[in-house]
Amino acid sequence: MRLTMLAQALDQSLLDRPALILLLALLSVLALFAVLGQFLRRQTSVQLDPAIIRTFNNRVVSWMTICAILSGTLMFERWVTVVFFGLISFWALREFITMTPTRRGDHRTLTWVFFLFTPLQYVMVSWNLLRLYTIVIPVYASLFIPARIAFTGDVKRFLERTAKIQFGLLICVYALSHAPALLYLELQRFDLVSGQYVEWNGKPAGLLLFLLVMVQISDTIHFVCDRTFGRYIIAAHVNATRSWEGLMLAGFGTGLVAMIIQFLLPVTPFTWYGAGIMAMVISIMASSGTMTLSAIKRDRGVKDYGTLVQGHAGVLDRIDSVCFAAPIFFHMTKYFLGKPDTLAAAGDWFPMFYC
Amino acid sequence: MLGVIESRMKQVSIAILVGLAKFFSGASVRWVDCTPDECQRVYYANHTSHLDALILWASLPKNLRALTRPVAAQDYWTGGPIRRYLANLFNAILIDRKKVKAHNSPVDILNEEIAKTYSVIMFPEGTRTPSGEMQEFKSGLYYLAKKRPDLEFMPVYIDNMNRVMPKGELLPIPLLTCITIGPPLWLEPDESKLAFLTRARQAIINLKEREEA
């Protein structure tokens, strides 16, 4: 009885069977890592830097939290997952703005950023207003922010303050919102046998899981390579450990894993080589995200966004890689496999937009 | 019956306000070289925002909240039904800033109100500063210490609150703030007013520097 209910719930969820298996595999690997991390922490004989273990444990625990909540939200309608990502964005943005020095004159602008643009972006994503949500923040908000600051009359470091708020909104909210937007894509599949595009019958959560799993695999490979044999450091001032070896191996390794996963558990409509290429792009974008956010942190002289205020987990430290990978992955998937003319236009919701 | 409903409503309003305060402030509290305790204390803090008292009050453990009362200006907090309701909700001790006289001294009122049970939240700068820079302390702190040498004076540094809600703004923005509560100090025998006030102010500055380090 219970089992049939569970099966029913899974039927109605956003997960199909391969996606469910992938999600369970991801959670168990993370749990395994968590146990391993705790074991290493207690271990005194192993010659390992305790700082590395602490970093490792922090990452595993926060990713486990994110994935556990996500597997819950994927059981419900799509908007529940959108709301979850909205909350992550909100928290990341407050970390970013807390770290960034703003002036008294920015207060009203920040109120609009936090209480209008952030929720609006996710409302538009959940309504699938693709043509609107891809331009509201990069165009409308980018024009609104400097104008609103100009109206306050405070000109000190004007361009710098404007840029900081725009960048925070773009990375923490706009870029990240493309991850749950993957749930709304209507896609087709390229059939290698017939050489034609055919209907794809998978459920939407697969793409989102693919993105998150690839980002984590890429981060893990990068982390392990950097700490074990990475010698050619990319930019020591930005990040003292990230090496070229790690970057390359993370790219190729992630691509390889993606091909294997696509072969065993086809959660996405990609062909096997398509999955490999997508994963390589995701990996490179993820590394770029971490490097960029590191550069900002070093410039501000902080180690982690989490250490700004003691006791906070530092959400932005964890999702920086997803933020950079999500929009590129979203657009590539849409260009190559999106069905023509299936995306809701703003006009379908508000007839006045047709004029 | 009415009384029950009223007290229930009061509890709900308090829960909502505490929740909002924690959400907007990021709810990060540090006790440095001290622990929460039910003994009578004076929490004195730097004052940069209207929300300071609420945030500080909300950051205390629940059992201490019932025993802690903010000190507030009567002219402001009786100026309208909402403010009056809030002052009543937090059981605030209202001090008349305009009629400070020998027979009507705020310290006497304070002493009477807290009796042998309550702790208080005070802002000895007297008013908010737009820049967030700390001003000199008013002497109330010293006279209270003189009258009640048994009270523990707890320095509190509220960080970033002037960015969350600066003077003259209506809406707060949800940045992360941090409240640091330091080790208590007492009035030393033969300590002068100036020396005590300087020492008390310095205690907050130390907490600030400690956090920035």
Supply the pTM of this predicted model: 0.85
Mark yes or no for CB contact A312/B175 under 8 Å.
no
CB A169 within 8 A of CB A89: no
Q: Which residues contact A79 (CB under 8 A, 6 or more apart)?
A: A126
Residues of B in contact with A314 (CB under 8 A): none
Structure-model confidence comparison of residues B80 and A222, the more confident one: A222
CB A267 within 8 A of CB A259: no
Q: Is the CB of B176 inside 8 Å of chain A's CB atoms?
A: yes
Q: What's the alpha-carbon Rg for chain A, to the nearest Å?
A: 21
Torsion of CA A337, A341, A344, A348, to 10 degrees: 180
Query: Is the per-residue pLDDT at A345 higher than 60?
Result: no
Check residue A265 and report its DSSP letter: S
Q: Is the CB of B20 inside 8 Å of chain A's CB atoms?
A: no
Per-residue confidence (pLDDT) for residue A347, from 0 to 100: 45
What DSSP string runs through A139-191? IIIHHHHHHHHHHHT--TTHHHHHHHHHHHHIIIIIIHHHHHHGGG--BEEEE
For residue B124, give the nearest of B142, B141, B143 by alpha carbon: B141
Distance CA A121, CA A135 (A): 10
Q: How far is CA B153 from CA A82, B15, B137, B148, B156, in A?
A: 47, 27, 14, 11, 10
Mark yes or no for CB contact B176/A110 under 8 Å.
no
| Mean predicted confidence (pLDDT) in A252-260 | 95
Low-confidence ranges of chain B (pLDDT < 70): 27, 99-104, 130-132, 213
Secondary structure class of A47 (helix, strand, coil): coil
Per-residue confidence (pLDDT) for residue B105, from 0 to 100: 80
What DSSP string runs through B40-99? -EEEEE---STTHHHHHHHHS-HHHHTTEEEEEEHHHHTSSHHHHHHHHHTT-EEE-SS-
What DSSP string runs through B148-176? -TTSEEEEEEEESHHHHS-TT-SS-----
For residue A74, give the nearest of A233, A239, A251, A212 by alpha carbon: A212
Kindly report, residue by residue over A120-142, the tens digit of the pLDDT.
999 999 998 888 999 999 999 99
Q: Is the CB of B129 inside 8 Å of chain A's CB atoms?
A: no
Residues of A in contact with B130 (CB under 8 A): 104
For residue A242, give the nearest of A254, A260, A227 by alpha carbon: A227
Quote the tokens at residue A78: 């799509």
Q: How confident is the model at residue A306 (pLDDT cuts 50, 70, 90)?
A: low
Task: Kindly identify which residue of chain B lies nearest to residue A115, measuring between CA atoms.
Answer: B173
Highest mean pLDDT among A95-109, A183-197, A240-254: A240-254
CB A355 within 8 A of CB A328: no
Mark yes or no for CB contact A115/B171 under 8 Å.
yes
A297-324 exposure pattern, b = at least 16 Cβ within 10 A, e = fewer: beeeeeebbbebbeebbbbbbbbbbbbb
CB B149 within 8 A of CB B168: no
For residue A161, give the nearest of B47, B128, B163 by alpha carbon: B163
Residue A328 half-sphere exposure toward CB, CA atoms < 13 A: 19
Query: Is the per-residue pLDDT at A353 higher than 70?
Result: no
| Mean predicted confidence (pLDDT) in A104-133 | 92
What DSSP string runs through A48-111? --HHHHHHHHHHHHHHHHHHHHHHHHTTS-HHHHHHHHHHHHHHHHHHHHHHS---GGGHHHHH
Between CA A28 and CA A38, with CA A33 as vertex, the angle to 5 degrees is: 125
Structure-model confidence comparison of residues B69 and A346, the more confident one: B69
A28-47 exposure pattern, b = at least 16 Cβ within 10 A, e = fewer: ebbeebbeebeeeeeeeeee
Q: Is the CB of A156 inside 8 Å of chain B's CB atoms?
A: no
Per-residue confidence (pLDDT) for residue B133, from 0 to 100: 76
Per-residue confidence (pLDDT) for residue A304, from 0 to 100: 66
Which helix (H) or strand (E) covers residue A197, if one does? strand A196-199
Per-residue confidence (pLDDT) for residue B41, from 0 to 100: 93
Kindly report, residue by residue over A40-90, the tens digit of the pLDDT.
888 776 667 777 787 788 888 888 888 899 999 998 889 999 999 999 999
Residues of B in contact with A108 (CB under 8 A): 169
Please tell me whether the interface predicted TM-score (ipTM) of this complex is above 0.85. no
Q: Which residues contact B101 (CB under 8 A, 6 or more apart)?
A: none
Mutation site, A98, A106, A111, interface B, largest B CB count within 10 A:
A98
Mean of the per-residue pLDDT values for chain A? 87
Q: Is the CB of A97 inside 8 Å of chain B's CB atoms?
A: yes
Per-residue confidence (pLDDT) for residue B213, from 0 to 100: 64
Distance CA B40, CA B184 (A): 11
Per-residue confidence (pLDDT) for residue A352, from 0 to 100: 47
Nearest to B175 among A94, A108, A115 (CB): A94
CB A25 within 8 A of CB A273: no
Query: Cβ–Cβ contacts within 10 Å for residue B52, how many?
Result: 25
Per-residue confidence (pLDDT) for residue B100, from 0 to 100: 63
Query: Is the per-residue pLDDT at A348 higher than 60?
Result: no
For residue B83, give the nearest of B120, B119, B53 by alpha carbon: B53
CB B71 within 8 A of CB B110: yes
CB A255 within 8 A of CB A200: no
Q: How confident is the model at residue A346 (pLDDT cuts 50, 70, 90)?
A: very low
Per-residue confidence (pLDDT) for residue A355, from 0 to 100: 43
Distance CA A106, CA B198 (A): 34
Per-residue confidence (pLDDT) for residue B103, from 0 to 100: 67
Residue A256: alpha-carbon gap to chain centroid: 21
Between CA A92 and CA A103, with CA A97 as vertex, the angle to 5 degrees is: 170
Quote the tokens at residue A241: 């450990």
Q: Which region among A161-175, A241-255, A328-342, B194-208 has the lowest average model confidence (pLDDT)?
A: A328-342
CB B153 within 8 A of CB B44: yes
Query: Is the per-residue pLDDT at A312 higher than 60?
Result: no
Per-residue confidence (pLDDT) for residue A115, from 0 to 100: 94
| Mean predicted confidence (pLDDT) in A11-21 | 85
Kindly report, residue by residue over B131-185, the tens digit of the pLDDT.
667 888 888 889 889 888 889 999 999 888 888 888 778 888 888 888 899 999 9
Mark yes or no for CB contact A115/B28 under 8 Å.
no
For residue A320, give the nearest of A210, A175, A207, A180 by alpha carbon: A175
Query: Is the per-residue pLDDT at A232 higher than 80?
Result: yes
Q: How far is CA A303 from CA A306, B23, B207, in A?
A: 8, 24, 21
Four-residue CA torsion sign, A202, A206, A208, A210? negative
> What percent of chain A stands above pLDDT 70?
91
Quote the tokens at residue A11: 């039927």
